Structure 1
């Protein structure tokens, strides 16, 4: 049996215990400090959370009419985004669904691409051949009322919901147009609009023409098919038409640019607050063909369309042509769609509906490091156009645009009286004296379609390309057309 062991070094043992306690205390205090710092970072949130709860409770309990909690919360979320740029939004389920449809390239509406510019709902571009284009609605028109209600403070998705709808129904909009002494009132009949992204043809013996209408999910694949088809026809020069192209998906324009930009060269870069938003997109493949290029743009060419334009211009792969005095739209920001874990609405079976954020996370820069945000791209060559030519062009339609066989729109001198209980309103009777000036009946419209419409910019670009091919004696498709 063992006896008790006498501690021969009590001072050493006490010292070790003291050191251990000190280390433990240091660790605990360090964790506390970290929590304090985290709490300090959240101070702003907690500081304002109390007043948010108080306001919500007051409105919910004392407003003159009973209000839905979900609607209040959605309004609060939308209000949060009104302090950011116009492209950032909270996407409730309907808005998210609409955005996905637009990306797919098919919807029912009046046929315009819109944005919020300087706080005002603004037309980026009418879709050529659409009801809006036929009426003469133009790029940079400001939509100040929808159905008689001001658009002040409206979000893009809210506007989309108001403007889209069942084919055959109408929507009344009021437009401010620079240079017009009074607002313009339009009644537009919605129609099914499918916007294919790529159309192509051969002009004459040796010039290819490709129209890029937008950048949707299939654009890069469709563009490749068009290029390979034209390549088989031994074209010597290519015209890329991006007029009225309001943009689309970043990954698609990067793939399209790879068909022209040499392997390893910069296409576009993005810079944001977070390190994962600082990216460089370089060409990962050799060009499909190296041809003299002409790119047609106007002030309705935006976003992704400007990325391709900037890459071609900076690498001196071709010339950019636009109407005199115009530059591209100037949308140089990148939006990320992030689906949320939580929701504000549920279906009839109590399943959560999807919500998302559409958040501006970066700005993009051309290969030479230029930003085009709110500035646009300046063309190499400017073309003089007849007055109102672009509006007529949009009304007539570019290659591949939908042909609306019925007169889908009308213009009224005065806004209609709208019954707020009705979902849609009938087209009002027009002042007969305005018939010839403001709209065409079906018979006149049919006759107009049969008349030859001269697309001045396209004609001039063909002349420029032919002159270049003649002077250069291009026969291998390897020369590059450049503006001096």
Structure 2
């Protein structure tokens, strides 16, 4: 298994069509209520395209082949036609994948990744980050949920399909992806340099904290996550765990059966875990067959805006059916289910189609709304500060977003510039000089590339220290209070 410390330097950009794994079931995976493909992907009650419609597609392909001024690859035309169908749905989570992309997609479900570490989807023609994978190079570099990716290494994503954009982001292990990002609240694009790598991701990390409080981080719901989770939970319980914090921050989702199995361990027998609603209006309700009552210890779930779909199913189930408390930020808001078909094509390609929506046990559809935490806790502003552009030295009297980022970093590191509005004044210069002195750098008061690098490196270390994680500390505090409250009632 790869340890968390190693994983921080590794991982991927996702490699699926819409890239989000959430609530997916392939032909080889069991999926309650999904059904099996019938007669070339059509259910018996549905009407397929007419012969005239099929002839129209065939005629268009023949016209292109006969009249286009260069030779045409028929396979590319077919793939393009299918991709066009998926684009016509205007659904960022339905997509077509060719053989190579489908192979990488299957590897991701199984927990094997390559790239920079960001789950993405296509929304209104933009490549949008659903979530940076927790501990990944993308998260470490400062990529955030809802960021719009504009280009990589100078290659624009404008006019590209999601698969085409992802292919440009991916690259050989050890190479650098310079990703340009549009972020809400920032007037100018931001640029991030991210090292690509590959790894078999460990999706469950657990430890026991002081006072008998267990902590389990779930980074994704892959095929083997439920088994790993059960093992770690049993280990903590055998050690006399008095309370539990579950962390699904920046968890983009995964396989539906996996999260259902995990929720069974907390939701009492007979209570709902999730409802899946099809276009006919029929609802498939997943009822827990788990324990007869809730756990004998308090459970808190940590969420943020990168907690998507399967993470949201777990949040909804534990909140509404198991009495768990949610702490952190509002979740992403993805309330649809995808079915993935690979066998009908027979050539390794794959079609992923949104085939239902899911609702919480109380019947709430959280799509584009997310789930609000019971206790809202934001991280310190330096957790999400944008990197500094190192092509230009920042000096006294400058006034821009890079100076603003530097001031946020300095403040987070304990140096007090006295302002955070982006104006490089005397107080900012004094703070820079003090930082340079402590780091054995030339003391100029200017922020050159070496100073900016040192600031960012020190900030990454501070962010990685659990003591500075405001959301995690609030979760531990909540569990301690509930443990104390339970003891006082005895």
Which residue in 2 is equivalent to 1:151?
157
Query: Is this contact kept in 2: 1:186–1:410, CA < 8 A?
Result: no
User: 2:342 matched to 1:342?
Assistant: no
Query: Is this contact kept in 2: 1:175–1:185, CA < 8 A?
Result: yes
1:51 to 44, 56, 59: 56
User: 2:321 matched to 1:315?
Assistant: yes
TM-score, with length taken from structure 1: 0.74
Secondary structure of 2:468's counterpart equals coil
- Cα drift, residue 108 of structure 1: 1.8
Which residue in 2 is equivalent to 1:279?
284
1:436 to 446, 451, 458: 451
- Cα drift, residue 475 of structure 1: 9.3
Which residue in 1 is equivalent to 2:334?
331
1:376–1:211 distance in 2 versus 1, CA, 3 Å: same
User: 2:194 matched to 1:179?
Assistant: no
- Cα drift, residue 446 of structure 1: 9.4
User: 2:486 matched to 1:472?
Assistant: yes
Distance 2:107 2:176 in 1: 20
User: 2:380 matched to 1:377?
Assistant: no
Which residue in 1 is equivalent to 2:476?
462
1:27-46 pair list within 5 angstroms: 45-46=50-51
Distance 1:179 1:112 in 2: 21
TM-score, with length taken from structure 2: 0.73
1:442–1:151 distance in 2 versus 1, CA, 3 Å: closer
Which residue in 2 is equivalent to 1:115?
121
- Cα drift, residue 121 of structure 1: 1.1
1:441–1:379 distance in 2 versus 1, CA, 3 Å: closer
Distance 2:385 2:222 in 1: 24
Distance 2:382 2:458 in 1: 19
Secondary structure of 1:51's counterpart equals helix
Structure 1, residues 230-284: CA drift from partner, whole Å, max 9, x if none?
1111121111111111100100000000000001111001011258x74111112
1:81-480 pair list within 5 angstroms: 81-84=86-89, 85-273=91-279, 278-286=283-291, 289-323=295-329, 327-342=330-345, 353-390=347-384, 433-437=448-452, 439-440=453-454, 454-473=468-487
Give the aligned CA root-mean-square deviation in angstroms: 3.0
Distance 2:343 2:101 in 1: 14
Secondary structure of 1:187's counterpart equals strand
- Cα drift, residue 301 of structure 1: 0.2
Secondary structure of 1:388's counterpart equals helix
Judge which range, 99-108 or 164-173, deviates more.
164-173
Distance 1:451 1:274 in 2: 49
What residue ranges of structure 1 are gaps of 5+ in the alignment? 1-37, 344-352, 393-408, 415-430, 477-484
1:471–1:390 distance in 2 versus 1, CA, 3 Å: farther
1:301–1:259 distance in 2 versus 1, CA, 3 Å: same
2:84 to 79, 96, 106: 79
Judge which range, 292-301 or 375-384, deviates more.
375-384
Query: Is this contact kept in 1: 2:467–2:473, CA < 8 A?
Result: no
Secondary structure of 1:465's counterpart equals helix
Query: Is this contact kept in 1: 2:297–2:483, CA < 8 A?
Result: no
Distance 2:384 2:256 in 1: 27
User: 2:73 matched to 1:68?
Assistant: yes
Which residue in 2 is equivalent to 1:29?
none
- Cα drift, residue 79 of structure 1: 0.8
Which of 1 and 2 has greater Rg? 1
Judge which range, 457-466 or 247-256, deviates more.
457-466
Which residue in 1 is equivalent to 2:440?
none
Structure 1, residues 92-140: CA drift from partner, whole Å, max 9, x if none?
2112111111111122211111122343211122223322222211111
What residue ranges of structure 2 are gaps of 5+ in the alignment? 1-43, 393-445
Distance 2:124 2:460 in 1: 39
Query: Is this contact kept in 2: 1:185–1:413, CA < 8 A?
Result: no
> How many residues in Structure 1 have an aligned counterpart in Structure 2?
391
Distance 1:328 1:450 in 2: 22
Distance 1:153 1:146 in 2: 14
Distance 2:256 2:193 in 1: 34
1:442–1:319 distance in 2 versus 1, CA, 3 Å: closer
Secondary structure of 1:315's counterpart equals helix
Judge which range, 94-103 or 185-194, deviates more.
185-194
1:145–1:45 distance in 2 versus 1, CA, 3 Å: farther
Structure 1, residues 73-105: CA drift from partner, whole Å, max 9, x if none?
111111110011111112221121111111111
- Cα drift, residue 314 of structure 1: 1.1
Distance 2:463 2:133 in 1: 17
